[in-house]
Amino acid sequence: MTGKSHLKRLTGYALKYKSGLVCSVLAMIAVAVLEPLVPALLKPLIDENFSQSSNVNPLKIPILLLAVFLFKGLAEYASNVLSQWVANKVITDIRDAVFTHQLNITIENYLSESPGRIISRFLYDIPQISASLSAAWIILIRDSLILIALLSYLFFVSWPLTLVMLLTAPPIIFLINFVGKKLRKSNFEIQENTALMTKTITQVTNGIREIKLYGVEKKISTLFERTSELIRSKTMYVVKLTAANVPTVQFLAALAVTIVIYLATLLSQGDRLTPGAFVSFIAAMSLMFEPIRRLTGVNAILQKGFAACDSIFEILDKQVEIHGNNLNSSSQIIENLNGMKIEFENVSFKYPATDQYSLKDVSFKISDREFIGIVGSTGSGKSTLFNLFAAFYLPTKGKIYVNGLSIEGLSKKSLREKISWVGQPVTLFDDSVFSNVAIGNINASKGDVLKALEIAHCMDFVEKLPDGIYTIIGPNGSNLSGGQRQRLAIARALLRNSSIYLFDEATSALDSHSAGLIRMVYDQIKGQKTLIVISHDLSTLTNANKIYVFDNGSMVESGAHSKLIDKKHYSKLVNK
């Protein structure tokens, strides 16, 4: 996307705050109008006040100058405060929009980026846009208006001298454009390397035990140092380019001033320019230096902002789930008055960017309140089934029906409200026990949470925590054992009181006591809700109504435990 299109979109955000924007621009116009009054007052000061024959009141010009500075100062204050208010409102809107959009894009789009890239979007990209909005646009508008006002005055005083001065404009514009392209490319590379650095930090945070265990500290440090050096070198390139740009522009401007002063001197000697007009002209020219310097320097800030806009608007342009799968206002709502029935009809599925199918021509039916077991060797496609149950992905081929309705035309919200999922590994939040469980039902009372904890056999350890259910459990429940974390996740699922419960290896890597407690939860759910369990521990599935056996993406066997015990694939799993 171009800088022009980015500006157009940012302006769209700013226009939501028209009153602040209009008042800010009016204040900037006031600053611009008052700016040339300072050199304009110097003309009568020189030509009249310093003339021996003048009868002008000596206080008149100084008082007018003081008034100009007073009102100019007030206008600058108003323009800065109002501009910053609008800019910060826009940044808050963009930050909120990106976060909300990130939550609502499809799983496919979400997983296409590394966690480090997602985090750096908030820690690096948005602050760059903030800098562009809070500083750059003020400079662009205010200083451009000031230059227009000063140029108008210069034309009024002496248009030939002004035309000579403007001869330096084309090379300055060319230089700014050339440097701008270089800066934008470098800033984009800095963004990408910052994302890589964030990714490395995230991986170290999540995998510190493995890093220490396998002794790869030096390798990880080398990778981090290499990325850090790339950011440093690119940053220094931007610094050098910016540092060279400003004095070069200033030199070209000074060259114009030198020529103008020489010509003005000749005009003054020929009585074609009064001393007051000469001083006024030079003063107005001098006042242009600072706006020119700021406008030249703002290009670097703008290019950083435009490079960041590429990343921000890329995510905002990604489709949200509700649009991506025809789930608009006409999408169907699941009614489960007669129970929940699920049917897979010749379903095949492959993940994006792969040619290999994870599921191949799978067909089965699940009736309401059945206990279904799903087994198979690692990589046989079991967990992929759960991704399809929850409509995180749609089938590549075939159809999935819920209560006779195709999943493609269903409201995802309506579908997911009927599902509780306990996965492996468990995801918990750095919050209290109560908050982690209550996320399953935000309207639940303390009594509801305590009941869910009781059913999930959590109270034996929760009661021993320092603050009971209000104890903070650490990042991803790091202050709890594996079994405790698993049971807490089950309590969260139970509190949701869904129609369908999905358990993905819920007893994996647990001791026999914790696994036994989770099996007791299965027994409590069985017959009350639809229960679908993926497990390598076949002892947890002996009471299942049906067991579906998967191998290499295909369903190869099905039936109750007693009927499958002598079957080829199931018996292999039993005897492992």
Write out the two tokens for 525: 């759910």
Domain at 55, CATH number: 1.20.1560.10
Report residue 279 as tokens: 């001083």
Q: For residue 332, tell me if it sits in a domain.
A: no
290 domain-assigned: no
415 and 429 belong to one structural domain: yes
Domain that includes residue 521, residue range: 342-575
The DSSP letter of residue 510 is -
- Please indicate, yes or no, whether residues 95 and 14 belong to a single structural domain of this protein: yes
Q: Is the peptide bond before 425 cis (omega within 30 degrees of 0)?
A: yes
- As a residue count, the chain comes to 576
**Do both 51 and 127 map to the same domain?**
yes
Q: Could you report the per-residue pLDDT of 506-535, keeping only the tens digit for each?
A: 777 677 777 788 888 888 888 888 999 998
**Six-digit token pair at 276?**
């007051």
Same domain? For 442 and 563 the reply is: yes
Same domain, residue pair 148 and 238:
no
Q: Do 31 and 72 form a contact (C-beta atoms < 8 A)?
A: yes
pLDDT value for 518: 81
> Are 268 and 390 in a shared domain?
no
Residue 390 in any domain: the answer is yes
> How many domains in the chain?
3
What DSSP string runs through 146-171?
Answer: HHHHHHHHHHHH-HHHHHHHHTTHHH
pLDDT of res. 328: 43
Residue 90: closest CA among 309, 279, 236: 309
Q: Is residue 280 part of a domain?
A: no
Contact indicator for 533, 548 with CB cutoff of 8 Å? no
What is the spatial distance between Cα 436 and Cα 442, in angstroms, rounded to a whole number? 10
Residue linked to tokens 């991704």: 387
Residue at a domain's end among 272, 289, 308: 272
How far, in Å, CA of 44 to CA of 50, rounded?
Answer: 9
Rounded Cα distance between 194 and 198, Å, is 6
Residues 412 and 468 in one domain: yes
Distance (Å, whole) CA 241 – CA 81: 31
Q: What is the torsional sign of CA 386, 391, 393, 398?
A: positive
Residue 327 lies in a domain: no
Pair (32, 90) in one structural domain: yes
pLDDT for the residue numbered 323:
35
SS3 359: strand
291, 300, 286, 259: which is closest to 175 by C-alpha? Answer: 300
d(CA 83, CA 90): 11
Shared-domain flag, residues 163 and 124: no
Q: How far apart are CA 70 and CA 74, in angstroms?
A: 6
Q: Are residues 120 and 263 in the same domain?
A: no
> What tens-digit pLDDT sequence spans the chain (576 residues)?
566 788 788 888 888 899 998 999 999 999 999 999 988 888 887 777 665 555 666 778 888 889 999 999 999 999 989 988 888 888 889 888 888 888 888 787 887 777 777 888 888 888 888 878 777 778 888 888 999 999 999 888 888 888 877 776 677 767 766 776 777 677 777 877 877 787 777 777 767 766 765 677 787 888 888 888 888 888 888 888 878 777 877 777 777 778 777 887 787 777 777 888 888 888 888 788 788 777 877 777 777 788 888 888 888 888 777 533 444 445 577 665 557 889 999 999 998 878 899 999 999 999 999 999 999 888 888 888 988 988 888 899 999 999 888 888 888 888 888 888 887 778 888 889 998 898 878 788 999 999 999 988 899 999 999 999 999 998 888 889 888 888 898 898 888 888 899 988 877 767 777 778 888 888 888 888 899 999 888 888 888 999 999 999 999 999 999 899 888 888 888 876
CA atoms of 240 and 447, how far apart (whole Å): 64
Residues 499 and 358 grouped into a single domain: yes
Domain annotation covers residue 336: no
- Identify the CA nearest to 515 among candidates 526, 523, 506, 527: 506
Give the model confidence (pLDDT) of 251-303 as tens digits: 777 777 787 778 877 877 777 778 888 888 888 887 887 887 778 777 777 77
C-alpha span between 449 and 522 (Å, rounded): 19
Whichever domain contains 477, its CATH number is 3.40.50.300
Query: Helix, strand, coil % (nearest 5) of the chain?
Result: 65, 10, 25
Whether 329 maps to a domain, the answer reads no
The verdict on residue 76 lying in a domain is yes
Q: Are residues 153 and 174 in the same domain?
A: no
Residue-by-residue DSSP string for 112-143: TS-HHHHHHIIIIIHHHHHHIIIIIHHHHHHH
In DSSP terms, which residues pair with 532 in a beta bridge?
Answer: 372, 502
Q: State which amino acid sits at residue 239.
A: V
Tens digit of each residue's pLDDT (9 = 90 or more) over 321-376? 753 344 444 557 766 555 788 999 999 999 887 889 999 999 999 999 999 999 98
CA distances from 496 to 31, 93, 356 (A): 60, 32, 35
